[in-house]
């Protein structure tokens, strides 16, 4: 891998405001970011680990970076990243994704929140950071995030996150918390479509949909499209029935949900060790009522839990991170999400995420191959 292929990624961060005064800038900010990302790919869990990794790989990094004053100390990493302007940081991240020419047209973008459980600071009265993240489910790319004080503030964070993203032609999926008229309007304003789960936090809409689908059932689901899936895994059987239709006239007449084209219902039956659980949920969408496509989107929303949040906790031990100062927890979370995205773009290694991280840390050629895979997307 040439120096250009490695460093081009970080040219998009050259305009990121460096929080240090000029006379104290011994280490270039893009170089610090390059070291931190590579360290996150290879298993680093804190700024001390990043420093150790940089020193262990100093000769390799010197092939691509100037390193005029060597590898920064962990205190320098922590101090600088804690003071970064995170809004600028995410703008630079979007420029990188645009440069990769990643198209999100017709791609599902799942948005959901996750708490960094050990990022609280009792001494300063700082609560744990809660991040609302956007995840391209099929592409396996982490697209951006917004930090809020707690889960209750997620609703106001989503429109801010939408403003950061290039969503033209994409489909944004959200759980019931975010079934909000303002959120639907914000998604359409970004030239994207929405699929929103409906539960009892929207009581009027929920009751309307429930009553309408009961009546539809009494008419043998006339004018309703239906699709059934059955999955068996580890002694568990799960059957899902999806029903979609054009919205009822009275719902359209109300005009509360911008560009509403579909109402849907999902009936789930889960059998585990002889015990049967049943659940019925509803959803609305700006997409036309094509049942198989909508079934994929509804089911695929939960990949943000399985592919992103679960991997961050199990493989990257995110819940154990004790970074607490300033923007440090949020910036470290970005590096973890970027590292996960980079690792999932690689197809050269037939190994688990943990296995890829270990091999990348042990073997410079493996690390270079993984980095090239993401740069070539």
d(CA 290, CA 242): 11
**Residue where the block lists tokens 């992103």:** 308
Q: For residue 121, what is the DSSP state?
A: B
Give the pLDDT score at 368: 87
**Stretch (H or E) spanning 266:** strand 262-272
Nearest CA among 40, 149, 163, 45 for reference residue 111: 163
Task: Rounding to the nearest 10 degrees, give the CA dihedral for residues 293, 296, 300, 302.
Answer: 110
pLDDT, tens digit, 9 for 90 and up, residues 57-73:
999 999 888 999 999 99
8 Å CB contact between 196 and 221: no
- Interval 72-99 mean pLDDT: 84
CA dist 96 to 101, 345, 375, Å? 9, 15, 10
Q: List the domain boundaries for the chain.
A: 3-99+326-375, 196-289
Q: What are phi and psi of 284, to 5 degrees?
A: -130, 155
d(CA 133, CA 144): 6
**Residue where the block lists tokens 């239906």:** 226
pLDDT, tens digit, 9 for 90 and up, residues 151-192:
667 888 898 889 888 899 999 999 998 999 999 999 999 999
- What percent of the chain lies above the pLDDT cut of 70? 90
8 Å CB contact between 215 and 233: no
CA angle 139, 352, 347 (to 5 degrees): 50
**Stretch (H or E) spanning 204:** helix 203-218
d(CA 307, CA 10): 26
pLDDT, tens digit, 9 for 90 and up, residues 242-254:
999 999 998 998 8
- What percent of the chain lies above the pLDDT cut of 90? 44
Global pTM value: 0.84
Q: Can you name the CATH fold of 196-289? A: 2.20.130
More confident residue, 127 or 114: 114
Token code pair at residue 152: 């209750």
Task: Rounding to the nearest 10 degrees, give the CA dihedral for residues 5, 6, 12, 16.
Answer: -160
Give the pLDDT score at 216: 94
């Amino acid at each position: 891998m040439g120096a250009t292929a490695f460093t081009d990624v970080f040219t998009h961060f050259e305009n990121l405001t460096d929080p240090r005064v000029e006379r104290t800038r011994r280490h270039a900010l893009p170089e610090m970011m390059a070291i931190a990302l590579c360290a996150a790919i290879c298993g680093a869990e804190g700024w001390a680990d990043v420093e150790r990794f940089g020193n262990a790989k100093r000769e390799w990094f010197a092939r691509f970076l100037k390193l005029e004053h060597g590898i920064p100390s962990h205190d320098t990493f922590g101090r600088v990243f804690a003071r970064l302007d995170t809004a600028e940081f995410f703008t630079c991240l979007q420029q990188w994704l645009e440069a990769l020419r990643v198209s999100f047209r017709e791609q599902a973008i799942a948005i959901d929140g996750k708490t960094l459980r050990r990022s609280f600071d009792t001494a300063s009265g700082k609560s744990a950071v809660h991040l609302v993240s956007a995840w391209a489910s099929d592409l396996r790319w982490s697209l951006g995030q917004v930090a809020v004080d707690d889960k209750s503030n997620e609703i106001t964070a989503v429109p801010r996150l939408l403003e950061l993203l290039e969503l033209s032609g994409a489909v944004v999926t959200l759980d019931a918390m975010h079934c909000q008229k303002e959120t639907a309007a914000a998604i359409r304003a970004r030239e994207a479509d929405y699929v929103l789960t409906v539960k009892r936090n929207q009581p009027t809409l929920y009751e309307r949909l429930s009553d309408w689908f009961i009546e539809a059932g009494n008419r043998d689901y006339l004018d309703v499209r239906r699709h059934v899936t059955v999955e068996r895994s580890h002694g568990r059987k799960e059957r899902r029935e999806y029903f979609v239709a054009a919205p009822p006239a009275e719902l359209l007449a109300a005009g509360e949900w911008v560009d509403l084209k579909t109402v849907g219902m999902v009936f789930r039956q889960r059998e585990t060790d002889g015990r049967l659980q049943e659940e019925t949920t509803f959803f609305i969408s700006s997409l036309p009522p094509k049942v198989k496509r909508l079934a994929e989107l509804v089911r695929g929303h939960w990949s943000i839990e399985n592919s992103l949040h679960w991997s961050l906790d199990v493989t990257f031990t995110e819940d154990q991170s004790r970074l607490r100062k300033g923007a440090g927890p949020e910036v470290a979370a970005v590096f973890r999400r970027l590292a996960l995205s980079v690792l999932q773009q690689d197809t050269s290694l037939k190994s688990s995420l943990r296995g890829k991280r270990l091999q990348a840390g042990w073997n410079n050629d493996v690390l270079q191959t993984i980095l090239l895979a993401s740069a070539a997307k």
